[in-house]
Amino acid sequence: MHLGLIGCGNIVKTLLGFLDAPDAPDVTRITLLVRAGQCDRAQDEIAAMTPKAEIVEETADLIAARPDLIVEAAGHAGVAEHVGPCLEAGFDVVVVSVGALSDTDLAARLETAARAGGARIILPAGAVGGIDIVSALSASGEVTLTYRGTKPPKAWAGSPAAEALDLDTLESAAVFFTGTAREAAAQFPKNANVAATLALAGPGLDKTRVELVADPAAPGNVHSYEVVSPAAKVRVEIENLPSNGNAKTSVATIYSVLREIRNHIGPMVI
């Protein structure tokens, strides 16, 4: 398999490590798109991790390489800049930065591009489980979904939470945001992809209620939600370890991307 990657941050680097495991999907070639001016630095860094990767700086060069699947892990700006042209050129794209779709205009442009190219926007489950039943229950009638995201204070550093709370001296759990999934995704682009994913699978970005919490006692990144529908009531709580080097991202997110790659090439999809 020839894999295209957009981004060169923690998610991509961790994924490259996972792809070297003996039981990993058979990826024989990688084309990695990085920001302009970063090619030389990325080349040295990535070459130390895998000999399979070619580094490019232009979306057109990624498209010209003709990968079998593209994975985006470059944040909201990366989605806006690169994903549309890839879809329009006919390439399926796994969008890790799901919160970018809280931008109504961007979401519409990407859907138009996907239709034009006969491609798919693939949203991975990321750090949360149960997306399948949330999506299934959305067809049963009116659905309500409430989500609570709890992370250690350091995971909220650099976000608006740092303006609402003194994260360095926090001694107990503190709620610093309540609102819709759309609002959460827009205000916390590096922390609220789970809220956006649940909302898009369920009642929508404007009907999903979100509560974000900083808790010094949190054992990791904890995601809990409740879905109520005519067909079933579901309660889920997941405690994730953060990925190495980025407290904001759960390591389960990267395993979720690995699953999407495996499903793309495997004879059986679960």
Active site residues: 223
CA distance 229 to 237: 18
Beta strands 2-6 and 29-33, pairing class: parallel
CB 92, CB 113: distance < 8 Å: no
Write the DSSP assignment of 38-56 as a string of letters: -HHHHHHHHHTT-SSEEEE
CA distance 107 to 80: 9
Give the pair of three-digit tokens for residue 237.
């709580």
Going by C-alpha positions, the residue among 233, 137, 260 that lies closest to residue 252 is 260
- Quick one: which H or E segment has residue 66? none
Max alpha carbon distance in the chain (Å)?
A: 55
CA distances from 240 to 15, 45, 190 (A): 17, 27, 16
CA distance 240 to 218: 10
